[in-house]
Structure 1
Amino acid sequence: MSLTVAASTQPLSAETVFDLLQRVRDKAPRVHAITNSVAQSFTANVLLAIGAIPSMTIAPDEVAGFVSGADALLINLGTLDETRRRAIPVAIEAARDAGRPVSVDPVFADRSAIRCAYAQDLLALKPDLVRLNEQEQAALFQDRGAVESLIRGGTVLAVTGEEDRIESLQEDFRLRNGHPLLARVTATGCAGGAVLAAFASVERDTALASAAGLSVFNIAGEMAASEARGPGTLVPELLDALYTMTSRDIELRLKSA
C-alpha cells in the first residue's frame, strides 16, 4: 500500500543516527513495555544494551504508577491475554497524562479478527507511533485513505519489510538495513519496537526518531550476523553490537534512500 502523505522522502545521515543513539545512552530513558510473554526478557536486554532502562509490569493495579514515571510506553499485542487487555488502557491514559510518547506494535493483527479489532481501537486513540509489517498493515487498513487519516492525526507509521518505510505528515524515510538471520530468532521485531520507543523518548520528531532507532537495531543485526554462526550465537552478538556501536559502524553501514 503506497502512501503519499508527506511532502518528501528525506535522507538520513549517519551523524544524526549516532547523535540520537548517544542521547539515549546519555539520558538512559525508562521504557515501560507491555509486551508479549515470549519477548519480555529479550526486549529488556536490548533496551539495556542501548543504554535505556526497561520496566515490564502488566499488573493493572500498578501499571499506571510505572508508566507515569517512565519516559515512553510500548504496547505490544503479541500475547493479548486478559491481564494485558485490562492494563493497556490504564497505561495509555497514564502516559497521556504524563505527556509521554505511546508506541503500539499490533503483532499478528492479521491472524485474528478479535486482535485486529482491538488494535483498531488502539489506533483510534492516536498513538504517537505504530510499528507493523506489511501483512498487519493490510489487515488494519482497508484503503489508503484510512492510513492517511491516521497519519494526518499525528501518528507516525514504521512499516517493516524488505525496505522499511517511515511514514509521517512532515517527512518520510526509506531504510534498507537488516539481515535475514534476525528472522530466525524470536522476538527480534518486538525488541526492535522497544528501541524505537526509546528513541522517541529523546527526540520530539517521532519520524526521525523511528528512522534512527530502526537503523541502529538493523545495523546491529548486520554486525551480529557477520560474527554469528547461526541463531544461537546471533543473540549475544546482537546485544554486544548494540552496546558497542560507534559512529563509524553507522557511517559504514547505513542504507537510507
Structure 2
Amino acid sequence: MTASYPDFDAGIAADLLERVRRTAPRVHCITNAVAQHFTANVLLALGAVPSMTIAPEEVATFAAGADALLVNLGTLDDTRRAAIPKAIEAAKAAGRPFVLDPVFVNRSPVRCSHAKELLSSSPTVLRANREELAALYPAEDPLEVLAGTSVTLAMTGAEDLISGPGGTVRIANGHPLLARVTATGCAGGAVIAAFLSVSDDPVQAAAAALTVFNIAGEMAAERARGPGTLVPELLDALYLIDEARISDRLKRV
C-alpha cells in the first residue's frame, strides 16, 4: 500500500475536474451543522450538485439517488445517528461511493467508537487527519491496517497522503489561511466524494480532489485580505481553476 503512484499528474486532476463539471454529479452530504452552507456552495462552485437532508425518514432515498455520499461526524446528534446507517446502506446498495470523515474522534470516545462501527461498512475513502487516525488506530499503523482492503486512506495535513489499492500519492498544496475558516476541511471531504463519482480509481480521485481544492485555496489566499474575504475568493477559485493553474502549482512529494 506504500508503493508510489507514478501516473498521477496535473492532467489527471484536470480531467477529473472536467468530468465533474460536465456531469454535475449530486453529492448527498450528511455533515455537521457548521459546515452545511459552505459545503453546499463549494460543491456548486465546483460544478457538482449538493443535497443535504438528514431526516431519517427520507435520507435513504436521497442517498440512493445521489452519485456519491459524504458522512461527516462533526455534529453527531440523534438525528444524524439515525440517518447515517440508512444513508450508507442505501448508497452501498445502489453502488455509490461514500466518504467517511470522522471529525474530532480524537476529542470524544463516544464519537470514536461510533466511527469504528462505521468503518465496518468499508467506506470508499476514509478522510482524516493524523490526530483522528491516532484515535481510531491507537496501537496500529492505519496504512498497515487498511492494506489489502478496499478502503482508500486520505490522510490530510501540511502534506496529504492518499493511499489505497494501486499505490500512494503524496501532495503538498494548500495554504495556512484555509485553517482560519471553519468547515474548509469538511467541504474538502465533499469534493472527494464528487470526484469519486466520476472515477473508478479512488486513489486518483481523492488525490485529484485534494489537489484541486488545495490549489484553489492557494489561489484564494493570494487575493484575500484575511479569513473574511477568503471564502468568496475560494468559491471563485474553484469556479475558475483549470489545467494550466493546476499544472503550475501541483506539488507532488
Instruction: Name the TM-score class by shorter chain.
Output: over 0.9
Offset at residue 11 of structure 1 (A): 5.4
What CA deviation, in whole Å up to 9, does each residue of 1:71-118 have, x standing for no partner? 000000001000000000000000011000011000000000000000
Question: Structure 1 residues 146 and 195, CA, compared in 2 at 3 Å: closer, same or farther?
Answer: closer
Q: Is 1:36 matched with 2:49?
A: no
The amino acid of 2:129's aligned partner reads N
* Structure 1 residue aligned with 2:159: 163
8 Å contact kept, 2:133–2:142: no
8 Å contact kept, 2:54–2:83: yes
8 Å contact kept, 1:151–1:157: no
* Structure 1 residue aligned with 2:241: 245
- How many angstroms apart in 1 are the aligned matches of 2:123 and 2:148? 12
Question: Structure 1 residues 135 and 151, CA, compared in 2 at 3 Å: closer, same or farther?
Answer: same
Q: Is 1:201 matched with 2:188?
A: no
The amino acid of 2:2's aligned partner reads A
Quote the sequence identity (%). Answer: 61
Offset at residue 191 of structure 1 (A): 0.3
* Structure 2 residue aligned with 1:191: 187
* Structure 2 residue aligned with 1:76: 72
Give TM-score, length-normalised by structure 2. Answer: 0.97
CA RMSD of aligned residues (A): 1.1
- How many angstroms apart in 1 are the aligned matches of 2:34 and 2:147? 30
Q: Is 1:134 matched with 2:137?
A: no
Q: What are the within-5 Å matches in structure 2 for residues 170-185 of structure 1?
A: 170-185=166-181
Offset at residue 167 of structure 1 (A): 1.2
Query: Which sections of structure 2, spanning at least 5 residues, go unmatched?
Result: none
8 Å contact kept, 2:5–2:166: no
8 Å contact kept, 1:11–1:256: no
- How many angstroms apart in 1 are the aligned matches of 2:184 and 2:142? 28
Q: Secondary structure at the match of 1:249?
A: helix
Offset at residue 146 of structure 1 (A): 5.4
Query: Which sections of structure 1, spanning at least 5 residues, go unmatched?
Result: none
- How many angstroms apart in 2 are the aligned matches of 1:154 and 1:78? 24
Aligned residue pairs total 253
- 4+ runs deviating over 2 angstroms: 5-12, 142-151
The amino acid of 1:227's aligned partner reads R
Give TM-score, length-normalised by structure 1. Answer: 0.96
Offset at residue 9 of structure 1 (A): 4.2
